[in-house]
Each structure stands twice: as C-alpha cells, then as structure tokens.
Amino acid sequence: MKKEEAVYENIFRYILFEVYYREADTYIIENIFLNNIVDEVFLSELTKIEFDSTVWKKLRTQEINEVQAQAITKHFEKDINKYIFVPIDNIIVEQARILMSKYGKQGLRTLDSIQLSVAVSLTNNADLFVTADKLLESFFKLESLSV
C-alpha cells in the first residue's frame, strides 16, 4: 500500500461500525489508519443508511443496548464531515445496472451493485478499496480495484 492514499471505504456494514464500537475485527480498520497516511475517506451516500441499519440491527439482536446505539449514532453524526460522501446519481445507477448485468449471475446484489458502482467511479481518486463483504470484495478484484 502507498503511504499517501485516498481510501474508498465501502465498509457500510461492519467495518465502519467498528470505528465507533470495538469488535473482534476492529483491528482491520485500525491497521489501515495506522499503516497509511489516509488523506481522504470516500463513502457512498448509501453508507449513511446502511450504518444506521447496522446500529439498529445490533440493538434488535441485543448485541448493544439503546444507550450504546444512541452514542454510536451521535458519534458518527459528529464525524460525518470527515468523510467524502459520493452521491448516488443517474450515472452511478446506470453503472450499477451494467455491473448487475455483468455479475448478477455470480451473486451481486442490488445495494452492493450501487456500492461497487461508486467504487468503480472512484478508480482515479482512491488507492485502496475496503469492504467487510467477501463477495463484494471479489467484485472489487474483478474490476481491478486495489483491495
């Protein structure tokens, strides 16, 4: 990995959550920040919704309590300006449709096609692409994104 890099963090489910709540895999995201100079972190607008969904799922499944859920959400909201959110526009949606045609038989799902489309759109802006989803990571690799 390069020392100076922009990172597209497609970590909408658990890795981003682990920035705000320590879990077993928290070291993965910590190592990215410890071992690199990260100038920018790009996230899809979709990540905001998926982050909230993860928080409330963890509350429903009693992995965290309500006080923790509110604290995690509040902390994320406080940090939201530290991230560069890529809008989901018509170009992203059309690219997602193309990617779905290309990888749908291999298991690409709807929301992941949007995340993948955002990642592909950042090919010239980010040096590292991170996801906790192994299937999505396989599509990153097929699209020659550095993981």
Tens-binned pLDDT, residue by residue, of the chain (147 aa):
444 455 554 443 446 777 788 776 777 777 877 887 788 889 999 999 999 999 999 999 999 999 999 999 999 999 999 999 999 999 999 999 999 999 999 999 999 999 999 999 999 999 889 888 899 999 999 999 998
Q: Which two tokens stand for residue 28?
A: 């993965």
CA distance 30 to 129: 15
Q: Which two tokens stand for residue 9?
A: 């963090």
Give the residue extent of every domain in the chain. 4-142
Residues in the chain: 147
Structural fold of domain 4-142:
Rossmann fold (3.40.50)
